Amino acid sequence: MINAGIIGATGYAGAELVRILLTHPQVTIAAIGSVSFEGKALSDVYGSFLGICDLVCENNEEVINKSDVIFACVPHGLSQEIAVKCVSLGKKFIDLGADFRLDSEEDYKEWYGLDFTCPELHKRAVYGLPELFFNQIENTDIIGNPGCYPTSIGLGLFPAIENGLVKTDSIIIDSKSGATGAGRGLAQNTHFADCNEAFAPYKVASHRHTPEIEQTLSRAAGKQVTVTFVPHLLPINRGIISTMYVKLRDGVSKEQVRNAYEAKYNKSHFVRVLKDGDIANLRNVKYTNLCDISLHFDDRTGTLIVVSAIDNMVKGAAGQAVQNMNIIFGLEEQTGLEFVPPAF
């Protein structure tokens, strides 16, 4: 059995990790931590865990010492110090925050206002999007778990860009997320009265996930790619749907595009390329580690429109983190993650 520790277990992503790992056949939750709720039982914070997980929140050091793998669900800037302690003790470390997602320290400074405090660890860290970077993940002990928007977008656009089927100089991405994406902390735009019966973009062309999105797409293209990215807040709890607009290269057919996507994901446990005419829908991936992708074509403008749907708390956070853990420990990557989405 793998002893797992969760630092930041009382946040939304942390609580989702607990929910998933409780039924994982190869994992025991050895310890959980929380600065805000140290000394309190998780079931006192989330009543849904009453009698199911009554673990008491401990300090970070206790969580690290008791665990083989540590999941950090903390704000950016806090994970690097935790990673140093984990690696020094031979522990596996999976960061659900932003500290190990970006290759470039300059990008991290520009978008997060912080430095790489331990550059050597960043060189060892792997960006953990399993469907794209499986081979690197299985040989590392530090994972930067991708952000939710970059997961839906990276999976949605990678095959088209990797195969040179689309132009990369005018990519437009329109994404919409449920309110849990903002985390458990209070924010004006996620208050019920502001969010309910409302719909609007936010951080227009300035969202911190932009460099992460561009990093993944640049890897696919083999050159620098920039995008126009506009996120929106949906008045729902969970889910992300991204609609991406890219111009097809001259002479590229619909069959070539579909073949590229099906070839890329035909062995994937979690990415479903929908048949012609179907449209990716949040309802069909809710509470799962699935990513549904639908392909659409505007013949008048020569535009490929890709729609990608995920559950932001599972495939966009906790589920993908568990998928990464499975790969690191040599388990089948779907272990503990074969959830069936609700029909309605």
Residues marked active site are found at 148
Quick check: helix, strand or coil at residue 231?
A: strand
Cα gap 75→81, rounded to integer Å: 12
The 10 Å Cβ neighbour count of residue 39 is 10
Cα gap 165→247, rounded to integer Å: 9
Task: Determine if residue 147 is left, alpha or beta; phi over 0 gives left, psi from -120 to 50 gives alpha, anything else beta.
Answer: beta
Cα gap 321→73, rounded to integer Å: 10
Strands (DSSP E) along the chain, which ranges? Answer: 2-7, 27-33, 57-58, 69-72, 92-95, 126-127, 142-144, 171-177, 200-201, 227-233, 240-247, 271-273, 291-298, 303-310
Cα dihedral across residues 177, 46, 101, 134: positive or negative: negative
Residue type, 292: D
Residue 342's contacts (CB-CB under 8 Å, 6 or more residues apart) are 283, 286, 287
Reference 157, options 214, 100, 224; nearest CA is: 214
The residues facing 171 across adjacent strands are 227
